Amino acid sequence: MKLHTKIALGLFLGALIGGFCNRFFGDDQWLIWVSDNVAYPVGQVFLRLLFMTVVPIVFTSIVLGVAGIGDMKTLGRLGGRTFGYFLLSTLIAATIGLTLVNTIRPGAGLPADVVDELMERFSDQQAGLAAAGAQNFGISTFVNIVPRNPVAAAADMDMLALIFFSLIFGAALTMIPREKAQPVINVLDGIGEAVIAIINMAMSLAPYGVFGLIFVITSQFGWGILQQLSMYVVVVLVGLFLHASVGISALVKIFGRLNPMTFWKSVNPPIITAFSTSSSMATLPTSIATAESELDVQPKIAGFVLPLGATMNMNGTSLFEGVTVLFLAQVFGVELGFGQQVVVVILAVLTAIGAAGVPGGSLPLMMLVMATVGVPPEGIAIVLGVDRILDMARTTLNVCGDISASVYVDRIDREWEGLPAAVPIRSRPETA
Ligand code: ASP
């Protein structure tokens, strides 16, 4: 059996058995024990093995990517295209979300007692997020992109700062004499290969890890809340589906000049990883491997675009933020006019750039968007009970958006460099 079939099986069985246990033994002590002491550690060890590789893979792949691109002019042009694509796809996603939530208005009919109950139940969690948000955003967010100490940035998993240092370091390698730069490049190349070997080992544990991660969620999930918030959940999921099937597919076709079906068939492994980990960062190694091996993206481009994307390009998150802010505005009877909704879209795009690629990474920042347009930020408590499920879905789109960006930037680079056209595995005659 192929590894990804096994992982998908782990995901399916974990969800099924977890959901079954929740249904029949929901409050039993033994179930909580099994979830805390067996499923949770198995899932977390797998997740940590992936996280363990993130710092070295971001550093080596960006430095090698930038050094491989070579001159600053090309780097600037590719960087401009990359950011342009990120902005465009995130903007399309947020707009789809806002259009849906305005049409369906899921917040208008939510009963007041449900609102009170959820506000009360998730108030502690909400207070924690509020504290994190207050610390994390402001003008210093931008200043801190330039790290005082790159080692500390890496140690804190401060991704924007680490990326900034890696970009500068890669650029610097192109400015020093070739005979000095080459040994450094060779060493980083070796480190990169070794990290990939570690990832392959970690991925062989994925079927069990994924089982554990999903079991913990479904065995303890409050399915009742899902029912109470069903309209809101449906709007987010339909929005994500529309953005995938129409938005990203069109972008892949127009900008990446690739058949969307080929694209979607090729990205199964990152889809499963993103869905089960809810983390763009934890999925980064798989995204890089898939872009290179399945979609024929040059390693220097995958190494440059995908780490940036995992941190800054979050299509699913911006769609989710737009829907959630408007949903909560409807719940609280706050009317947001066209101008304010435009502000929501802009802020959803900006905060999606600033959000960390970890489970729930966008929540503290979304509270700031709410506060800015006059929706009570503590209202986020209402949706926290279903957030994990939505996080799984939005992270999947975040990652697919990143991979589509790498396809576009690769194709454009090939054109500029006069290289032969890319041939994704699924378009090759022997596999077609
Ligand atoms: N979990 C998301 C990601 O890693 C971020 C978020 O929307 O919370 O991409």
Q: What is the SS3 assignment for 28?
A: coil
Mean pLDDT of 391-396: 96
Mean pLDDT of 408-423: 92
Contact 237, 226 (CB under 8 A): no
Q: Which of 279, 75, 94 is nearest to 170 (CA)?
A: 75
Residue among 213, 236, 358 whose CB has most ligand 1 atoms within 8 A, to mutate: 358
Residue among 284, 314, 392 whose CB has most ligand 1 atoms within 8 A, to mutate: 314
Residue nearest to atom 1 of ligand 1 (CA): 359
Q: Does the pLDDT at position 293 exceed 90?
A: yes
The pocket around ligand 1, CB under 6 angstroms, is made up of: 278-280, 314, 317, 355, 357-362, 391, 394-395, 398
Spell out the domain ranges in the chain: 3-431
Contact 363, 356 (CB under 8 A): no
Residue among 389, 394, 397, 403 whose CB has most ligand 1 atoms within 8 A, to mutate: 394
318: which 2 tokens?
Answer: 């911006």
Q: Check residue 160 and give its pLDDT.
A: 87
Q: What is the mean pLDDT of the chain?
A: 91
Q: Does domain 3-431 have CATH number 1.10.3860.10?
A: yes
Mean pLDDT of 394-403: 97
Mean pLDDT of 355-362: 90
Task: Determine phi and psi for 26, rounding to 5 degrees.
Answer: -40, -50
Q: Does the pLDDT at position 136 exceed 90?
A: no
Confidence tier at 430 by pLDDT (50, 70, 90): low
Angle at 320 between CA 373 and CA 105, to 5 degrees: 70
Q: What is the pLDDT of residues 417-428, one digit of tens each?
A: 899 888 888 777
Q: What is the pLDDT of residues 82-111, one digit of tens each?
A: 999 999 999 999 999 999 999 999 988 888
- Percent of the chain residues past pLDDT 90, beyond the cut: 70
Residue ranges in 294-423 assigned as alpha helix (H): 299-312, 315-331, 338-354, 363-372, 381-384, 387-417
How many CA atoms, within 13 angstroms, populate the side-chain half-sphere of residue 358? Answer: 11
Q: How far is the CA of 210 from the centre of ligand 1 (A)?
A: 17
Q: What is the pLDDT of residues 28-48, one digit of tens each?
A: 889 999 999 999 999 999 999
